[in-house]
Amino acid sequence: MTDFLIRNAAAILTGARGAAARHKGPDLRVRGGRITAIGRLAPEPGEAQIDATDCVVYPAWVNTHHHLFQALLKGDPLGINATLTPWLAATPYRFRAGFDEARFRLAARIGLVELALSGCGTVADHNYLYYPGMPFDSSAILFEEAEALGLRFVLCRGGATKTRQLEAELPQALRPEKLDAYLADMERLAARYHDSAPDAWRRVVMAPTTPLYSMSAEELRECAATARRLGLRLHSHLSETVGYQESAHAMGQASPVRYCESVDWIGPDVWFAHLVKLDPDEIALLGATRTGIAHCPQSNGRLGSGIAPIRALEAAGVPISIGVDGAASNEAADMVSETHAAWLLQRAKGGEAAQPRFRGGAGEAGAEAASVEDVVRWGTAGGAAVLGLDGVGTLAEGRAADIAIYRLDQDPRYFGLHDVGIAPVAAGGQAHLRALLVGGRPVVEEGRIPGLDMAALAHEARKAVQALKELAA
């Protein structure tokens, strides 16, 4: 079904800025998988219809940073109360060798299902599960699982040519790759999967795991040059904790962002996950170069990393997007939970900085730091922008019909709302998804993915977690 009419929506948020952030609708027409009209529309003879009475319509979410394989690593007791570096050793590195082809595929499926059920239509996964002699193709599995669900998928091909000390005594699954092998695989993936169309279903991104730790400066420059020759974007982690600042200082660099500038890892074709710990000059440089961010508020909170200065970044000119990060540091790795956290935490950050007037402050503040419309824009149009997918991310004529329709008559958390348009973000929880459409094709129908046996998936997950625990013991 790629031709239909969505009728009688209670509210429509478009993902656009300013006054265009809402549309009165109440109807949207889709032809050939694209939005062709929004307004008060009369049904055409024989036209298929979706009844959106008591529903809110958003653009499908665009998740710009994930680690899907971590869907089987949630709530590990050894990592649950750890900050980033000890958590890395306790959870992702400890369990990594236990991922064979079947467990990796299962984890990817679980993560993608969780995202789809939140209304996410595009997923960028920063997959770093690669090592010499690897017996399965994790890249191919990710593309296959996303295609099976009907989601747009962006592979951020991670990897490293060197390791941190905490990885040194771990098994083959943590051994670094050679740069030639890494770049050869990037060439292979780009030729096989990368589509430069503005509404592409498949994209490939150059994404060494962490600039400060994963490759040498010369290798990072070569990666950047190769990516730009191939027409690929660049992505990585940066400035998640003070550890990045300490490492940059020890390397004789002014700051992590300045280091990235020195190795050509900055610009409008680059976006970084986290960017929590930034100096004012770094914010200015990121903005001047239009380098983007994948804001991951729940993971940053879970690991005690802090709250990224999103308002200052956006004011400087940084493109803002939202990512859920891996489930091993975010046990609610879905886009509704993530945007709810982004809305609240930017306000909390503003309020925390407020000072009383007798101390020279301006009194109470923070509630204006992020509106629901801002958060929807960051999580949809903002995500599409940093991924270079200009044909998706907003509800507008000519755009791909990537649409999430949320029902508000199934859960008392939405009863009594004066402005129903804010419901999924402001009320949080698991909004009932009336439909998720990607390219006009149905992915979720009435809170269910057709053909998916959720009980069987849960059973497989329990078995896989037990096996991983036994292997890591």
Class of domain 61-383: alpha beta
User: Rounded mean pLDDT of 346-357?
Assistant: 90
pLDDT band at 206 (very low <50, low <70, confident <90, very high): very high
Burial 157-166 (b: 16+ CB within 10 A, else e): bbbbbeebee
- Cα-based torsion angle of the residue sequence 175, 180, 186, 190 in order, rounded to the nearest 10 degrees: -160
Are the C-beta atoms of residues 153 and 204 closer than 8 Å to each other? no
pLDDT digits (tens, 9 = 90+) for 107-118: 999 999 999 999
The β-bridge relationship of strands 22-23 and 11-13 is antiparallel
| pLDDT for 71 | 98
Work out the number of other CB atoms within 10 angstroms of the CB of residue 44: 11
Q: Is the pLDDT of residue 384 over 70?
A: yes
Query: How far apart, in whole angstroms, are the C-alpha atoms of residue 440 and residue 220?
Result: 39
Across 6-20, 72-86, 240-254, least confident range: 240-254
Of 204, 222, 101, 237, which is closest to residue 161 (Cα–Cα)?
A: 222
3-state secondary structure (DSSP) of residue 444: strand
Of 346, 410, 350, which is closest to residue 377 (Cα–Cα)?
A: 346
pLDDT digits (tens, 9 = 90+) for 241-270: 999 999 999 988 889 999 999 999 999 999
| pLDDT for 253 | 81
3-state secondary structure (DSSP) of residue 122: strand
Q: Is the pLDDT of residue 1 over 80?
A: no
| pLDDT for 165 | 56
User: Rounded mean pLDDT of 334-355?
Assistant: 94
What percent of the chain has a predicted confidence (pLDDT) above 90?
Answer: 89
**What is the DSSP-derived secondary structure letter of residue 237?**
E
Burial (0-12, 13-18, 19+ Cβ within 10 Å), 303: buried
Residue that the structure tokens 């002014």 belong to: 254
| pLDDT for 77 | 96
| pLDDT for 173 | 74
Q: Is the pLDDT of residue 398 over 60?
A: yes
DSSP secondary structure of 131-171: -TT-SS-HHHHHHHHHHHHT-EEEEEE---SS--GGGTTS-
The correct answer on CATH 3.40.630.30 for the domain covering 4-59+392-445 is no
To which H or E segment does residue 44 belong? Answer: none
Q: What residues pair up with 406 in beta bridges, in sequence order?
A: 56, 433
Q: What residues pair up with 441 in beta bridges, in sequence order?
A: 438
User: What is the residue-averaged pLDDT of the chain?
Assistant: 95
Tokens of 89: 């050793």
Write the CB contacts of 134 (distance below 8 Å, at least 6 apart in sequence).
none
What percent of the chain has a predicted confidence (pLDDT) above 70?
Answer: 98
Query: How far apart, in whole angstroms, are the C-alpha atoms of residue 383 and residue 388?
Result: 9
Write the CB contacts of 138 (distance below 8 Å, at least 6 apart in sequence).
69, 104, 127, 129, 130
Q: Is the pLDDT of residue 60 over 60?
A: yes
pLDDT digits (tens, 9 = 90+) for 418-454: 999 999 999 988 889 999 999 999 999 999 999 999 9
Q: What residues pair up with 235 in beta bridges, in sequence order?
A: 271
| pLDDT for 169 | 59
Q: What residues pair up with 205 in beta bridges, in sequence order?
A: 156, 233
Residues of the chain with CATH 2.30.40.10: 4-59+392-445
Residues of the chain with CATH 3.20.20.140: 61-383
Are the C-beta atoms of residues 116 and 128 closer than 8 Å to each other? no
Are the C-beta atoms of residues 33 and 441 closer than 8 Å to each other? yes
pLDDT band at 459 (very low <50, low <70, confident <90, very high): very high
Query: How far apart, in whole angstroms, are the C-alpha atoms of residue 377 and residue 17?
Result: 7
Are the C-beta atoms of residues 335 and 120 closer than 8 Å to each other? yes
Burial (0-12, 13-18, 19+ Cβ within 10 Å), 218: exposed
- The CA–CA distances, whole Å, from 228 to 92, 107, 191, 199, 220 equal 30, 31, 14, 20, 12
